[in-house]
A and B are shown apart, each in its own frame.
Chain A
Amino acid sequence: MAENRDGTVVTFYSYKGGTGRTMALANVAWILAASGYRVLVADWDLESPGLHRFFHPFIRPSDLTGAGGVVEMVNQYDQATRQDADRKDNWHADFARVSQFAFSLNWKHFPRGGSIDFLPAGQNDPGYERSVYERNWDEFYENLGGGKLFDALRADMKKNYDFALIDSRTGVSDVAGICTRQLPDVLVDCFTFSEQGIDGAARVAAGVGRSNTRAIRVLPVPMRVDSAEKLRVDAGRLLARQRFSGLPAGMPDPGRDRYWATVEVPYQAFYAFEETLATFGDQPVAPSTMLASYVALTRYITNGAVSEFTPMDEGLRTRTLDRFARRVSRPEEKVVLRYLPVDRLWAEWVTEVLQAADITVRTVESGSAAADEIEQDVRQLTLVSSANSEAEAARVSKERPDPRPPLVVYIADVRPFRGHAAEDSAFLANQSAEVAIDRLLRLVRRPTAEVDPDRIVVRFPGNATGVFNAPIRNKLFTGREADILELRSQLQSQGSSAVLQGNQSITLQGMGGIGKTQVAMEYAHRFRNAYDLVWWINADEVAFIDTQLSTLAKRLGTVEEGTIPDQAEALKQRLERGEVDRWLLVFDNAEDIESVSPYLPSGPGGHVLITSRNPLWVDYRQTIQMDVFQRGESVAHLQQRVPLIRLEHANRIAELLGDLPIAVAAAGAWLAETGAPVEDYLRDIQERPDSMLAGPGNPSVEKTWDLSLSRLRETSAGSYRLLQLCSLLAPEISLELIYGDRMAEVLRPFDPAVTETAYRWSLVHTISRLALLKLDVANRRVHIHRVLQYVVKQRMTEEEIEETRREVHAVLAAARPRDDVDNPSTWPRFQMIWPHIELAEAHESRDEAVRRLFIDRVRYVWMTGGIKAARDIAERNVGRWRELMNHAESDEERESLRRQILHLQFNLGNILRDESEFTESRALNEKILAEQTDLLGANHPHTLMTAGSLGADLRALGLYADALDRDKVTYAAWADVFGEDHPRTLSALNNLAASFRLVGDFRSARRHDQSAVQRMSTMFGEDHPSTLTAGTNLGRDLREAGDYHGSVKLLGDLCERARIVHGERTPRYYIFRSNLAVSMRSAGRAAEAAEVLEEAYEQLNHLLGPDNPDTLASRLSRAVNLLAVGEVESAGSELDEIDRAYGRLGLGELHPHRLACATNRAATARAAQDLVSARALAEKSNEGFSQVLGADHPYALAASVNVAIMLADQDDLVGARAQFEKGLNEMQDQLGPDHPDTVRSEGNVLLIRRQMEGKRHDAELKDVIVRLSGLLGENHQAVDALRQFRYLHRTLDPHPF
């Protein structure tokens, strides 16, 4: 080996990808080594190395993975520059040693001295991509003296090799600069005959000639010359000769002509499909082959030293060629194309190519639900990029042994799947469009010739965009796939259809921090290769837009004369004339529509993407409204940053941050960066809400709105104040609240014009224009993001917040309807207030009117069925206000609080009663009543309301007479103090009627109820809930009075109204229905009633729970009805169960409800022929009713009749007759002679007489049957029973308390 070979360094360069440059290098290397030279090949395409593929039969995988390469050389030197050691001046040369990284190809057949050593780009490990990507070459040269390292490397290559061939990166990147200008002696400048290709290559060649101190010989080489395209080729040759005039230098003209005539690499389809060396693929002596052209090139590189390729043994050649090749099989008709959303551009292009070959393509995004459905008999084709190579490798290998394994298309330089057949794989990365099409079609076994390339409209994604300028890609971008997809679809659809002029643009609109710019950036990067030109313009400062456009004009290399605005205008016109095929301009943060609009080009083939907070763009451009993250997107982002985060934690964080992308991203970054436990972070947010804006080092969230807020403050003090007020409310705020007079009053000091109602709109509009709120016109409300609310609050002092909160309280109190919450017409207005009272801390207010909203709230929640929730609110606020009372500043304030606490407790009493805690509610009400009487006087409405409630407690406890006494007094007081027509008076009247009903005075009950219904209808309207309740009570009274049909009619009508007023899924509706059903049964329609009761009971059970008194009442009526329709056994077990349930509620054995149960159980037992139990139960109920309600109470009378029947059943005819007759007499007194119960009783008396005395009473009996059928109807079961001489027993449906 020579001491110093003084070899030649040759760089193979191409301005564009896909020229065949790497293949040329590999073949030239082989030809040289076959001629006995020591050759180095260096893969300097650091970002996507591919040289090894041409040598794959001669490289062991471990050689590549373990070797290290250019990247490691650079890194080792980098680290060594930090060492302060006493070393020789040129110590860096020790780091520039090819021998430490290179390895030889495994080929024993080169002649003596011949070898090829391979210097890889770098180790293929996960850190690798990052290290290249992050390398700042400017800094490496200027601060670390990197240029010296490469000079030393060049020297090392020259010393140890005869030829060092460098495969350069394409384009004009820094790495390409190093390869073409610093390293080589010879530059092989490869190009194809496209105008752009020739132009770029010629410019690079000219530049090398101009600027280098050392002479670099430039050899321009036309590549992929397709002789089938003779005219184009001739034109290309001519143009190339012109552009490369004088090249190659240093030879006479005839020699140069000869060069151009011989050095030209032809296009041969054979080589398009896989990386095969022509030294094996071509016959060594054949003319016009690729091998021949490489030999010609080698001759010029070696200055004639090598002019032929020595043939090798033919057997060795073909055996080795086999190691490059793959097999072929049947063509595909239909494929399912799987791809990742990030690879969509490739998917679009691949789809078009396959469709052009008449293959049906169904595309599915991997990971989507559709991706999991595998169609039988349809071949899958998967796009593999660095983003999914690992996952797909696992999937593909898992699906073995599949007779038809998926086709795999590698669109990035990733490691091929282990064991995946070569014929089922296609490598498209770093290939030209033509090669890529060839390979793709070969993969699906289709001939290339059948495909019309004009059908492929999408730009080939493997061709990097010509000019690209956008902020660096956010590698942590997640989610937003739907937005990006819509954006892409809209931009594409515009290009193809006849659209209005100036409509080739899309605006992404939304509030700050929502990720508009991020989506635009991701789009620009993901689809960069869909465009020849991508340019990003910061449009927030309109004054600088034209400068940015003129910079673009410069990049395009055609600078017009004139000022910068002229240049910008000229560029716009060029784009509009279609001088650039496909372009994308992004105008980021374009807020000022009028000023920005003139800069927006509208030419064909172009896409304009605008991001803006300004909602008015919707009037000018097609707009995609962006909202906060979907919850799933927030969670996915957090999981990406913090892989071990628990789902519930991620959900919780997302919720606390309102899914605002910028805040979610900041949270994720903070957690990832600090590694802090998520629990700590969540606690932090709750303890110190400022943690949700930024962890240390993430101040960006708050800054998102800095500008907008400052601008708002400057332009409109009123708007700013409004935003401050809104920031203390819930995020969704009704416009009515905002446009109200009280709000205007609060805002007047900041903007006097608010006194004009119409002007208030403009305040909201001003905020909306800065996207600080979202105006929801349809629902008449605004939405302010909770994180923004927090930021606004942050900008206020504690004192300012306190003061603002007071004003907010005033606004809320003023919004309260005048009428009571008992009136449903007030509900829409109350609903507008409810979301805010807790958040605005209205309970802390020192103003009684503000606190009152909580009492309203309790009552509203209770009335609308939220009994448990109402109890919570009531109890919580009783506690809060007691606390407030401890700190009250005046007696007056203390008294006000005491008053409100008592009233709140009164409402709590109602709730306790509804929860069947009758004893507790009675005790509470008695205590409240005493305090209120003392504090407010006996006739204060609060006192009287409590008195009414106490009456209800007594009713509930079965103490009907006590209740009646109390209700009489209470009603009189209401009527006396507030008049007969006051709503509360009427409510008291209702209560009084109930007490009358319960003590059995149905006539008085009916009279009072009728009066109540009439007055309420007049006062509140027919559909008011109180009117309806009074009506349904009247329905009970009618039933008790025997007017069953009238009752059914009334209750049927009321049910219909209740359905409309309360809605179907409400307890009230089903309580009404249950009541109706009882009347239906009484009227002889038990079968119909059964259906109604089934539903009512089921719903009440669901809505109120099984132990609620209303549920139990309905269940009891249902059980009685079961008996009526003959389901005796079910009725019996149900009644037993109901009785136990009443017992569990604390109702004693003598409570009228349980006695009613006993009455009904007696009837059931009798029907089941269990006469002993029947009699015992009947007697028990009879005695009980007599004791509790009095012997003349209708229930006692009914029970007594039932006892008589039992006596008759047991043949005690005398006793039975006496009991029947006694009952009849009392009924005639109590109910009147025409009451159905009286008539039934008459019937029973006649039956026992008939039994004892024979048929002589049959005429009388017939008369009774006629009278009863007149009252109940011909087909009533009681009438039937009488016709069959069966006794008529009575069942009871107890009334609500």
Chain B
Amino acid sequence: MTPSRPDRYPFYLSYARSAPLGADAPEDGDHTVGDLFHRLSNEVRDIVGDDRSADVGYFDDTSRPSENWKADVSEVLRRADVFVALYSPRYFIRSVPLRERAAYLHELSGREQALRLLPVLWVPWEAWNHQEEHAASLTLGAGIKEYKANGLRALCRLAAYESQYSEVLRRLARRIVDIAGAAGPRPSTPVVIDDVEVPESSFSGMRLTVVVLAPSDPPSRWRPFGNRLRLPPAELAAIHGERLGMVPRVADAQIEFGPLAEGAVLVLVDPRIAESPQGRTTLDSVAARLPDWAVVVVVADGEDPRYRKRAHELSRIVNDKLGGTQRQVRRILDADQLGKRMPTVVDDTRKVYLSTAPVFLPKGALPRLPRIADDHGPAHEEDIDG
């Protein structure tokens, strides 16, 4: 964390990104946010007449990951006068922005919330989804149809929209300064991102349900490798799901068939559940509800002597109950492997679902694939490249 922080930030820039997964994982940010941040900071400074070095805002730059980003963000949120939310389809499916928004709004009065939350249409989405936010984010660009059509991100990236971009920026900066002036510093209630309850994303995207079957622990906190992995497996799976554009949720064995059948399903199983008769009953009942496209992965610590002894037998029970001719139960018995294989597991889960899911096409006749050569020869791969 930076040693000296200002007491007050006029604005906090919130945007869609996922939690950092460690040094090896590719970062998952949005470079354009950085461009916006610098231009916006300058605009704000111009208005308030500040010198060029002062921090007038904050954004969590994923290209320069912080060691302790949750604490950093929590700390800054507490001191930010205005919360600028860069809304996009991804914003509504990712837990990080939703969580920071909830944390910021936590314990603010309705009026304060309306005042301090400044929504921006960053990337447009189909308006029937999250209509309220959609409408709220449009006010900033009133009269600028390019803003409504393309979102602020595109205006920032495309030279042709430079004038519209400048106009929206100017308005945004002015609003920030106005609100900060009118509302004063944010009432200083402690805000810790992890402590806020975030309602399940209601964005209508492709679902990823991560079901955890473990003998103890609430599902989202189940940690088969203790603290050797920074994140519990369910959370890790959810983050990879977000990155693939799915709307994740974590559930336990109680989840009903209806929700279970919506979208891709990944079942993470602690094999120790098969030790008790009650656990085996749970497995049976989940098996009866599990859709064909669900992917099942046994996760356990292969180094744990308690498990090691019975690994074979317990895995086999899980396999017998949840596996089948169409479904091979996978096993991950190593913390390192869990981190490495999770992206593939989640991507496979998505693909299995895509291959079985019903398709809803736009109206109208479908064009045929135009071909240069009509004769495509035998069934093998063939190309006649030049």
Contacts and interface: CB of A to CB of B under 8 A. Distances in A.
Interface of B: 26, 29-32, 63, 123-126, 128-129, 146, 149-151, 153-154, 157-160, 204-206, 245-246, 297, 302, 311-312, 315, 328-334, 336-337, 341, 347, 353-354, 357-364, 366-373, 375, 377-378, 380-386
A473 B360 CA distance: 34
Interface stretch (A88-96, A444-452, A706-714, A746-754): A88-96
A38 B162 CA distance: 13
B261 to A, nearest CB: 13
A177 interface: yes
Contact of B31 (A63, A90, A173, A470): A63
A814 B19 CA distance: 75
A125 interface: yes
A104 B157 contact: yes
A172 B384 contact: yes
A147 interface: yes
5 tightest A-B CB contacts, nearest first: A16-B386, A147-B367, A464-B385, A181-B370, A104-B159
A819 interface: no
Contacts of B368: 141, 147
Given A94-B124, A99-B158, A674 B358 contact: no
10 contacts: A15-B386, A17-B385, A79-B245, A94-B125, A104-B160, A171-B385, A174-B371, A464-B386, A469-B377, A675-B330
Contacts of A200: 386
A675 B341 contact: yes
Given A94-B126, A468-B382, A103 B366 contact: no
Contacts of B364: 89-90, 148
Contacts of A81: 359-361
Nearest to B362: A92
B160 A89 contact: no
Contact of B380 (A16, A197, A469): A469
A511 B333 CA distance: 37
A290 B377 CA distance: 40
Contacts of A100: 123, 150-151, 153-154
Nearest to A14: B386
B369 A178 contact: yes
A395 to B, nearest CB: 19
Given A14-B386, A104-B160, A683-B312, A177 B377 contact: no
B376 to A, nearest CB: 9
Given A89-B364, A100-B154, A178-B369, A677 B302 contact: yes
Interface stretch (A548-556, A613-621, A977-985): A548-556
Interface string A152-190: 000000000000000000111110111011100000000
Contact of A143 (B30, B359, B375): B359
Given A99-B154, A148-B364, A674-B328, A180 B372 contact: yes
Nearest to B372: A172
A676 B331 CA distance: 5
A674 B386 contact: no
A125 B243 CA distance: 13
A680 interface: yes
Given A148-B366, A674-B328, A177 B372 contact: yes
Contacts of B370: 177-178, 180-182, 211-212
Contacts of B372: 172-173, 176-177, 180-181, 204, 207
B384 A151 contact: no
Contacts of A600: none
Nearest to A102: B158
Nearest to A212: B370
Contact of A464 (B31, B204, B383): B383
Contact of B128 (A86, A464, A468, A469): A86
A674 B329 contact: yes
A472 B159 contact: no
A144 B359 contact: yes
Given A469-B381, A680-B315, 4 more contacts: A79-B245, A178-B369, A555-B384, A674-B330
A1159 to B, nearest CB: 62
A105 to B, nearest CB: 8
Interface in A184-234: 196-197, 200, 204, 207, 211-212
B366 A644 contact: no
B334 to A, nearest CB: 7
Contact of A177 (B336, B353, B366, B371): B371
B337 A644 contact: yes
A170 B383 CA distance: 11
Nearest to B332: A675
Interface of A: 1, 14-17, 38, 62-63, 65-66, 75-76, 78-79, 81-87, 89-92, 94, 97, 99-100, 102-105, 115, 117, 125-127, 137-138, 140-148, 150-151, 170-174, 176-178, 180-182, 196-197, 200, 204, 207, 211-212, 463-473, 536, 548, 551, 554-555, 644, 673-677, 680, 683, 696-697
Given A90-B363, A470-B380, A677-B331, A85 B371 contact: no
B333 A87 contact: no
A467 B157 CA distance: 42
B293 to A, nearest CB: 11
A141 B369 contact: yes
B126 A87 contact: yes
Given A66-B30, A207-B372, A675-B337, A85 B204 contact: yes
Contact of A66 (B31, B204, B358, B384): B31
A90 B158 contact: no
A82 B385 contact: no
Given A197-B386, A675-B333, A472 B381 contact: yes
Most chain B beta-carbon contacts within 10 A, residue among A17, A84, A146, A677 = A677
Contacts of A65: 31
Given A548-B378, A554-B375, A677-B311, A102 B157 contact: yes
Given A144-B359, A145-B366, A79 B354 contact: yes
A17 B366 CA distance: 32
A99 B160 CA distance: 11
Given A78-B354, A82-B357, A100-B123, A468 B384 contact: yes
Contacts of A176: 372
A194 to B, nearest CB: 10
B386 A91 contact: no
A82 B246 CA distance: 12
A61 to B, nearest CB: 9
A104 B150 CA distance: 15
Contacts of B334: 644
Contacts of B371: 172, 174, 177, 181
A82 B311 contact: no
B344 to A, nearest CB: 9
Given A79-B245, A683-B312, A467 B366 contact: no
A38 B161 CA distance: 11
Nearest to A78: B354
B385 A173 contact: yes
Nearest to B34: A62
A177 B383 contact: no
Contacts of B359: 81-82, 143-144
A541 B357 CA distance: 39
Contact of A82 (B29, B328, B358): B358
B160 A84 contact: no
Contacts of A84: 358, 360
Given A62-B31, A148-B362, A468-B384, A87 B160 contact: no
Contacts of B312: 680, 683
B301 to A, nearest CB: 11
B386 A680 contact: no
